[in-house]
Chains A and B, each alone.
Chain A
Amino acid sequence: GAVVSQHPSWVICKSGTSVKIECRSLDFQATTMFWYRQFPKQSLMLMATSNEGSKATYEQGVEKDKFLINHASLTLSTLTVTSAHPEDSSFYICSAKRGGGATEAFFGQGTRLTVV
């Protein structure tokens, strides 16, 4: 299978600062990447979909100015949580999908963000 790597796996930051999370497809080119947020003991909620070279499409209720997504290359997408607050603390997971009608998305290992 394909490998998707997320970095960092966990991060603690102070309230008001920004945090960047990277999602890399290590052995394939990811035309589309997805960013999810997962609260404790809950399901994954899709935040946004990003296609390489174009602006991300955000789900309803997700603040695009707060959660900045960049998909500048076919192997890298980044999620930046700007002016983080404690309520942004969560588990963030990315997934990546090949192009050409691929049906399966491969998931990163997730990033635990704690804002203090």
Chain B
Amino acid sequence: AQSVTQLDSQVPVFEEAPVELRCNYSSSVSVYLFWYVQYPNQGLQLLLKYLSGSTLVKGINGFEAEFNKSQTSFHLRKPSVHISDTAEYFCAVSDPVGGNKLTFGTGTQLKVEL
């Protein structure tokens, strides 16, 4: 069984400031890791994913995440946020062997303020 923990339910940040959204996971097998963004009343859009290889993954909209196996973390970062980044962010894991079903964290609401 897998689980995902997003400790921060809300993260307020000023525009142009850096931000880090934390994600920790637990799994007994190797996993794939994902970050999704959700705008109000919309589906999910993939920001980035880690499957294998380089532990630093770059995604869309200037986001990046680093896979840390020893700390079982996959934190999402952006060096300078914009108002339009205000949204809900979900970290997710999937088990490559188990049909790639996604298990989601509880989400982090990023609120960018002027």
A49 and B99 contact, CB distance less than 8 A = yes
15 A-B contacts (beta carbon < 8 Å) = A4-B43, A6-B43, A34-B102, A43-B90, A43-B105, A43-B106, A44-B102, A44-B104, A46-B103, A49-B99, A95-B44, A104-B49, A107-B45, A109-B42, A110-B42
Assuming A43-B106, A107-B36, what are 18 further A-B pairs, CB within 8 angstroms? A6-B43, A32-B99, A42-B106, A43-B104, A44-B104, A46-B102, A46-B103, A91-B41, A93-B44, A103-B32, A103-B49, A103-B51, A103-B94, A103-B96, A104-B46, A107-B44, A107-B45, A110-B41
What chain B residues lie within 8 Å of A6 (beta carbons)?
A: 43
Secondary structure of the A side of the interface?
Answer: strand
A9 to B43, CA, bound (A): 10
User: A110, B43: Cβ atoms under 8 Å?
Assistant: yes
> A32: which B residues are within 8 A, CB to CB?
99-100
Q: Which residues of A contact B (CB under 8 A)?
A: 1, 4, 6, 9, 32, 34, 41-44, 46, 49, 91, 93, 95, 97, 102-110, 112
CA distance A50 to B3 in the complex (A): 22
B100, A112: Cβ atoms closer than 8 Å:
no
**In the complex, which residue of chain B has the Cβ closest to the Cβ of A102?**
B100
Bound: A45/B68 CA distance, A: 26
Question: Most chain-A Cβ atoms within 10 A of its Cβ — which of B32, B41, B94?
Answer: B41
- 0/1 string, B49-77, CB within 8 A of A gives 1: 10100000000000000000000000000
B92 to chain A, nearest CB (A): 8
